[in-house]
Every structure is written in C-alpha cells, then in structure tokens.
Amino acid sequence: MVNLQVGKPQPDLMPLEENYSLKRHNTFGVEAIARYFAPVRHVEELAEIAIGDLWKSMPVLVLGEGSNILFTRDVGGLVLKNEIKGIAVMRETADEVWLKVGGGENWHQFVMFCVGNHYAGVENLALIPGSVGASPVQNIGAYGVEVKEVIEEVGAWHLEQHDLMRFSNADCAFGYRDSVFKHAYRGKLMIVWVVFRLSKHPRFRTGYAALREELERMGVKELSLETISEAVIRIRSRKLPDPAKIGNAGSFFKNPQVSMAQYEALKQRYPTMPAYPGEHETMKIAAAWLIEQCGWKGYREGDAGVHQHQALVLVNYGKATGQQILSLANRIQQSVYERFGIMLEREVNVW
C-alpha cells in the first residue's frame, strides 16, 4: 500500500530550463520549443511563480503526460510539467475508501493500483493515456463508466491568483468529456490532487457488447476487477496504436450528440448508423463511423494520417508537424459536416 504525502516541500528551488524541446512530452511526437520549462513536483513550488514579474507577461501552459495536446507552434512562455506524485488513504470504512492522488500520477498505473488493492470504480478506465490531473478536466470515460462517478473533490492551484482552490463534484460541472476546467478555468489552473471515492464491493459494468465479447473470448467464468481491467486493456491495445510506436493522442474527436429530430432524419438516410442515448434527450453518433463513411480511414498524406484500424485516431507516422495534423483534422471536420450536417468537435487540445 502506497501512502505518500502529496505536496511535501523541498528545500531546492523549482528547476527551470530555457528553450526546451517538448517533443518527448507530447504523444503526437511533434516538435515544439518551450521558452521556459519547469517540472513541478510539489504544490509549494507553484508559489515560486508569483515571486517574479516575468511570468505575468507571458503565457503559462500546464502539461501532464502530453497525451491530449497537439502542438502547432512553440510555447513563448512557461510550461509547467505536473509531476506531483503520491497516493494517500484519507478515509476508510468497511465499504469504501477515499484516496487522495497527486495530479502527476500516471492514470493507468493508478487504475492498476486500485485493481491490485481491490478498490472498485475505475477498472473500466484502464489503459486510458494521461495523468490523474487530466482525468477530471476531460471527464474521461470508457465502456459505460465516467470518472465523474468516483471523484469526490479536486484540488487545483490558480495560476493567476496563486492560491489553492477546492472543487466538489458538483463544482466540477461534469458533462460528456467536459467539465468547468475546460471553460471558466481553462488555462488558469494546475490540478494538484484528486480525491476518489472507491468501493470495496464491486458492481461490475459490462453493458458494452465489446466488453462482454472480450470476456467471453478470455473464457471468464467469474467477473473480477482483474478480469474487467484485463479485457479493457486487450480491447484498447487492439483498437488503438501505441504512442511509443506511432505518434497519436487517442480519439481526436468527440462522438457528437444530436437532437432526436436530427437523429431520426439521419437514421432514415443511414439505417446502419451506430448511435446510443446521450445527455439531455439527445443521441450520440459514432464519430468513427461518420469519418469512415467520408473515406478517411487509413488516409495518409506525408507523415500525417488517419489510423487504418480506427478512424477516430489521427497519427504522426514520423515527421509530421502539428500544423499538418491540424490541417488534416480540419478537412475531416468539413467533409463530415458537408455530408451529415454534423460539425465534429475536437477532443484533443490544440496549442
């Protein structure tokens, strides 16, 4: 059991590097230069930003594991790399446990920690790339589970006011791949810790056909946190390219939500169109299907392309620039809009 302090102060000042390459800090593997770069390992180090006037005149970008960002230009300011670690048990009962987790922890490793300790609630979210601090921003979700279901509280440092803010679950205003951190507080916070409320009595979520089919292929007779997470890992490993081999940021676009009227009209024209209920009496359309119908699956232009097995994933085959990948994304959006009347929304952040 790991029981670390999140934000333990250190005597050394926050290290600062100039003209720093961000290529290895983004999973697309595109080149971009940060004017200044600093890894943040403790909350107290963030207070150092307030000391000098230099940072007030330039942009500040918070970076986790770089799995949800596309750099199309250099960063003419300060990049703060969230490396705040630690997993601490805050509270525990016979039925539940509350974990306070540093924002710089790797998300998948945290999921495996929970599975190994028999804490239920995040097993369906295995192998999602990124950091714990990014999970509430995006309200990550997969196979019938969203992280909002297990988040109790979020602690974030306000980069302009230079103080720590606390957000309850309700304060986060979670939606489909959405939260208050993407709107009112966009670019203003670093999430330094997240409190998760997890169960000691699993309630297995196997509503997705792909998950049930994988469990059958595995010959699973009795469900467990281990078998659920393993099934998810196998599915994701088959469907999505490994960023270590092919640069990508996972799903580039969100699945669009349309009104019931628009859905019915589309269904008349495209009877095989995959869709499922969304939020607020909407239907969620499979973006990958829309993109594939427009002929983009497997498309490649230079080193920028669309993955041959998953049309939602844009890839860098080697030396593509962020601008080339963005240009491809824009053309995909336009073609889907022209054919279906749906404007796809990017899931990946563009700098």
At how many degrees (to 10) do helices 209-217 and 225-239 cross? Answer: 110
CB 136 within 8 A of CB 154: yes
Q: Could you tell me how far CA 185 lies from the centroid of its own chain?
A: 17
Pick the catalytic residue: 67, 131, 179, 251?
251
Of 41, 43, 42, 23, the C-alpha closest to 31 is 23
Neighbours of 203 (CB within 10 A): 7
Is 177 noted as a catalytic residue in this protein?
A: yes
Is 91 noted as a catalytic residue in this protein?
A: no
Side chain identity, residue 87: I
Pick the catalytic residue: 48, 96, 177, 335?
177
Q: From CA 203, how far away is CA 192, in angstroms rounded? A: 29
At how many degrees (to 10) do helices 107-116 and 225-239 cross? Answer: 150
CB 211 within 8 A of CB 227: no
Please name the helix (run of DSSP H) or strand (run of DSSP E) that holds residue 76, with its range, or none. Answer: strand 75-82
Buried b (16+ CB within 10 A) or exposed e, 315-338: bbeeebbbebbbebbeebbebbee
Is 24 noted as a catalytic residue in this protein?
A: no
CB 255 within 8 A of CB 264: no
Which residues are known catalytic residues?
A: 177, 251, 347
